[in-house]
Structure 1
């Protein structure tokens, strides 16, 4: 990021139109900048700097660093603030563009601090990507001259690590294997056509790349056959942005190539309130990077999301009007907050497979008449269920039945209710329609046993008597034939009774012997046979 005081603001009306259609910017709950993607194991982690909502002194107001992660490139889960300037004893002001890299089982996060009092580069270390990060030096790692900003780190095939950084003056130094100390002299004023700031250094095959914010903040790149140059200018990737800065981050993930950047496209955005975006691209046969366009849609999904596993509410493809905060529920983490009437969350490429029967959401601090409308494909798409979440003063799991959800869809949670904050939202989960076969008729995993009897006559029914009342759990009663093939679901929901009568007249079940399976919260309690 560059110390410029002129900036451009897009009209608010235009930005409001953009937010309805877009999946870029990929983070909407905060203003984010200076994207630093890192692939670690099977996940892509995205570190960003953070433009505060309230700008101080009409200049970049940046106090900490955010982390987001994804496995599908469209749904991003926030991990919150993982490092702040105040975590460094020598911090005075401004936490600018970061970059992280794994080595020796640790994550090293390089950050430029203290621009107003003389920018210096520091490093923080953690045992995992989400922290906690600690400053192992209690002092700066490196600095020479002015504008020691925008560090980028790369470890070559021979194990040698390199640190590039700078604004106007591109500099480089080698790092020791411990990644927190340097070796050799700093090389300054490295020739690089149009170099302004924001270098991003990496290697692909045998070619070294340095992508950076060049003339007029266009994203440009150069290549070399050596990690230390000389560098050959190859061209521009993005044209000049509508704000005063830009910062690239390039990464390969699951066989795809991506270029991250930032703009000012969120409502209220601009040079001091930026937003991270991403585009997919394909290298040329000669290793060249094509000219790219900043889009509203972003990349396609490379995996689907499983709605039958617990999903954090802060897993978002796009949203409107929301914030996140540290969660007080068990398990800690974050929850979605600042939920008002008409706000929404979009989650992409949700695979319902054969269908869902119910939905549950973890809710707190809800007002009366607060609801979640569950819709498919757009904000006003097919309504598959409405979950009344009102009346939860403390963390409570609310549930509702759903119908019409099968196959792959974009999923929308539309929040409705009165004025002001409606509730806090921690996580959500669907229950699938039972399919397939019963693998074992002896699968008894809990103490909540039940007895079953057939009620004959004009109104045929099954009566289930439980050894104890079933409370605050999802109960599912399914019928299978003797081969274990699924026939139908008799009940799916919650009950606090010690018995349950399930009418059969509406189910086309022929006379015979069947297996009845009772499950609590997706765990099989017991399977029994009965003649009907």
Structure 2
């Protein structure tokens, strides 16, 4: 059962935000966003800050994945990998910023483990299961504590590059298998990038001496024959800056800030940039979610346009985030309950039977789904639920207290994992609307919720 104070904080946050879009994930604290476009879908990999910290420091055990085809609703695929994925690893904390890439139908998730360097996991699906192909770390250096924040890109000629590092920048040229690298160059294959102010900007350090602005969190990609290195900059608190090059190996030229320090940004920042369905998107994290802070961060998203010369404009963090979906959601096919634009109060869990589902549902919690195309109207609403208690799901449009289409009664199904499909008649509503599923019932956890669907 949630405390009265927690419910009040959530209610205050959402009343002030007007059900804003940022942060885009509300069920968990997520950071270090790494988007990947594959087969018409955006897959977003994140690190995961636990609700409770240990020793007032980053407390991170696993890596999560979300997906979207509209850039406003995000489907939770759960924790797709964790520190337990590495049988050789004797470490219980430190699952830091990941990035995933596809090659030849396989998916390679590069993950830094604080104090243990960079490792790689492999899967046949973007949502896993991921497994360890090496039985050891991928990157072996004498500066292992600085080996964090990997970013990976496959160039047009097929050569893959893996960059990483804090407070310097290194890279290797990955072999085609993506789990080894050319060790005939550099220092056993590792090349150190020359850290100059011309390449990465100028910043005065804690010792008062000027030096390169680059700090950590690189994001490496190519667009229109220009290579971009976007990174956390200017020390603590971190800005986001970028440099460009006409070669994947540099030399780099500093271009300026992408995002400056602003209220509700965490003292760290980490970005990811993609183009998707004709639009450009900038991912980052802040500490604006209720209970958030420097060690409890949340993923955010802004849409932007490159300048005509390919430079990146200064992007201002907003509560509104992405204001327009790139496609409408079809509610007449099964929609996972964990497909969420905004939510209050709920969490997600997973099991082997149904996968990821919505949990921790209390009275007056809700889920908002944006840009739902009701077409010429629906006659029924169906949902898969499991519970030992009773409650209801109110189906409303446009606002949490908006037009009530109908109410689904959820009675005891025989257990919290005993799933049943229930349905109810609803009144017709036409066109595109935001749909709010509002949960009602007695005090305490009401039920678990796996999927829903409108029927004509």
Q: Is TM > 0.5 for Structure 1 vs Structure 2?
A: yes
C-alpha displacement of 1:40: 0.7
The structure with the larger Rg is 1
* Aligned equivalents of 2:239, 2:294: Cα separation in 1: 15
Q: Which residue of 1 aligns with 2:298?
A: 275
Are 1:349 and 2:375 matched, yes or no? no
Alpha-carbon contact 1:19-1:266 (below 8 Å) kept: no
Which of 179, 182, 187 aligns to 2:191? It is: 187
Unpaired segments of 5 or more residues in structure 1?
A: 1-10, 433-532
Are 1:98 and 2:98 matched, yes or no? yes
C-alpha displacement of 1:187: 1.9
- Normalised to the residue count of structure 1, the TM-score between the two structures is 0.76
CA RMSD of aligned residues (A): 1.5
Deviates more, 1:199-208 or 1:164-173: 164-173
Q: Residue 430 and residue 250 in structure 1: after superposition, are their counterparts in 2 closer, same or farther (change >3 A)?
A: same
Are 1:158 and 2:157 matched, yes or no? yes
C-alpha displacement of 1:298: 1.5
C-alpha displacement of 1:89: 2.2
Q: Which residue of 1 aligns with 2:117?
A: 120
Deviates more, 1:139-148 or 1:345-354: 139-148
Q: How is 1:351-500 mapped onto 2 (pairs within 5 angstroms)?
A: 351-368=373-390, 370-393=391-414, 394-432=418-456
Deviates more, 1:90-99 or 1:201-210: 90-99
Q: Which residue of 1 aligns with 2:36?
A: 38
Q: Which residue of 2 aligns with 1:218?
A: 239
Paired residues, number:
416
Q: Which residue of 2 aligns with 1:525?
A: none
Question: Deviating runs (4+, > 6 A) in structure 1?
Answer: 11-14
* Aligned equivalents of 1:61, 1:263: Cα separation in 2: 16
* Aligned equivalents of 1:252, 1:238: Cα separation in 2: 18
Deviates more, 1:89-98 or 1:271-280: 89-98
* Aligned equivalents of 1:65, 1:109: Cα separation in 2: 10
Unpaired segments of 5 or more residues in structure 2?
A: 1-8, 202-212
- Normalised to the residue count of structure 2, the TM-score between the two structures is 0.89
Alpha-carbon contact 1:63-1:84 (below 8 Å) kept: yes
C-alpha displacement of 1:395: 1.2
- Per chain length, whose mean CA-contact separation is higher, i.e. which structure has more relative contact order (CA < 8 Å, sep 6+)? 2
Q: Which residue of 2 aligns with 1:469?
A: none
C-alpha displacement of 1:21: 2.5
C-alpha displacement of 1:143: 3.7
| Per-residue CA distance 1:340-393 (angstroms, 9 max, x = gap) | 00100000000001001110111111523x111111001011111111112222
Alpha-carbon contact 1:261-1:277 (below 8 Å) kept: yes
* Aligned equivalents of 2:260, 2:19: Cα separation in 1: 22
Alpha-carbon contact 1:83-1:133 (below 8 Å) kept: yes
Q: Residue 313 and residue 64 in structure 1: after superposition, are their counterparts in 2 closer, same or farther (change >3 A)?
A: same
| Per-residue CA distance 1:46-102 (angstroms, 9 max, x = gap) | 000000111111100000000000110011111111100111123213110000011
Deviates more, 1:240-249 or 1:301-310: 240-249
Q: How is 1:240-389 mapped onto 2 (pairs within 5 angstroms)?
A: 240-241=261-262, 242-299=265-322, 300-327=324-351, 329=353, 332-368=354-390, 370-389=391-410
C-alpha displacement of 1:29: 0.7
